[in-house]
Structure 1
Amino acid sequence: MKRIDSILKDPVYAEYINHNMSAAKDDLFCKHDLAHSVDVARIAYILILENQDLDFFIKDAGLSGKEAAKEVVYAAGLLHDIGKWKEYEEGVDHAAYGARLARDLLTRAGFDENEIRIITRAIYEHRNISRDMSFLGERLHRADNLSRACSQCVAREDCCKYQNKETGAFLLY
């Protein structure tokens, strides 16, 4: 997954992750660090594989094959929260802001315009579930929720995500 390695090695990506950590340093709730992003990427891909949806996704999204599909899913997972720091600092929607930030990273990593459109739409959509969500947006939203070990969190009683039955489970993906 060369394009994923390119994202992970991009100093701008590292800067966004560091901004997230600095902005949330005093927050008791979930962190939006690299580990969370990797977890979301992996879980989104697992969800697609478990439901045997990979071939559908490739065809529906017009992707070149399994490797491209895997990289698209992983890129969406890795980049889905890169704008979170801006939400902490200025109250902007981190999903919409992150989708804009992701474009340059994806271009530098070698993703084509179709792939960038799919990834940035999923990032934009991941925050709120809706009937009109894209295939990847829905998987990303669910993976984001499943990535949290809420049952072990000290702040769970004050957290809006803990009320979600999937995140409240003891053993997650």
Structure 2
Amino acid sequence: MMLETANKILGNSTFRRRLEELEILEKERIFCGHGLEHLLAVARMTMLICNERNIAAEADIVYSAALLHDIGRVEEYTQGVPHETAGAEMARQILAEIGCCREKTEKITGLILSHRKGGDKADKLKAAFYEADKKSRMCSFCKAQDECNWSKEKRNYNIEV
């Protein structure tokens, strides 16, 4: 299966530059990072959840949204802008640069905008994307557990789908 949009994002110079900026900003961060490993984990976990629960999900949209969902953290760290808002705006720019159609852009940015505050329970794909973002972390191995502000209920100590 070819993920045309997601692969174009990976090759996009704006995306690559932003990912490098994010890596620099998080270099001293003791908590979960938001690099490529996390982005791909969110995509894979979303697809697993959707498969398990028979939720319709187009892989290219899920992977594209996952690659872009934390790209707005640069603005969050430097300007205090919520990263889902800044991320959706940056995603629109990157998607325009790669020639993504409006309909697909809206689906991708919809997932990005809903990934932080509980998703959209009425939209099963958005809810799965939100859940995958949270479950993609393995808290039981985190060196910053004692300093983390995630509630005990939100933390992941087991592997589950």
- TM-score normalised over the length of structure 1: 0.83
Partners of 1:135 and 1:79 lie apart in 2 by: 20
How far did residue 146 of structure 1 move? 0.7
Please state if 1:51 is matched with 2:53: yes
Misfit runs of 4+, over 6 Å: none
How far did residue 132 of structure 1 move? 5.9
What are structure 1's unaligned runs of at least 5 residues?
Answer: 58-68
How far did residue 26 of structure 1 move? 1.2
- TM-score normalised over the length of structure 2: 0.89
Deviations 1:32-85 (A, max 9, x none): 10111011111111111111112xx5xxxxxxxxxxx11011111111000112
**Seq. identity, %:** 30
- Residue 107 of structure 2 corresponds to which residue in structure 1? 118
Q: Is the 8 A contact 2:119 2:130 kept in 1?
A: no
How far did residue 107 of structure 1 move? 2.7
Amino acid corresponding to residue 136 of structure 2 in structure 1 = S
Q: Is the 8 A contact 1:121 1:134 kept in 2?
A: no
How far did residue 19 of structure 1 move? 1.2
| Compared CA separation, residues 111 and 34, structure 1 to 2 (3 A) | same
Amino acid corresponding to residue 156 of structure 1 in structure 2 = Q
* Higher helix residue share: 1
Partners of 1:109 and 1:51 lie apart in 2 by: 32
Aligned counterparts, 1:64-103, within 5 A: 69-103=58-92
Aligned pair count reads 159
Partners of 1:102 and 1:130 lie apart in 2 by: 18
Q: Is the 8 A contact 2:46 2:129 kept in 1?
A: yes
What are structure 2's unaligned runs of at least 5 residues?
Answer: none
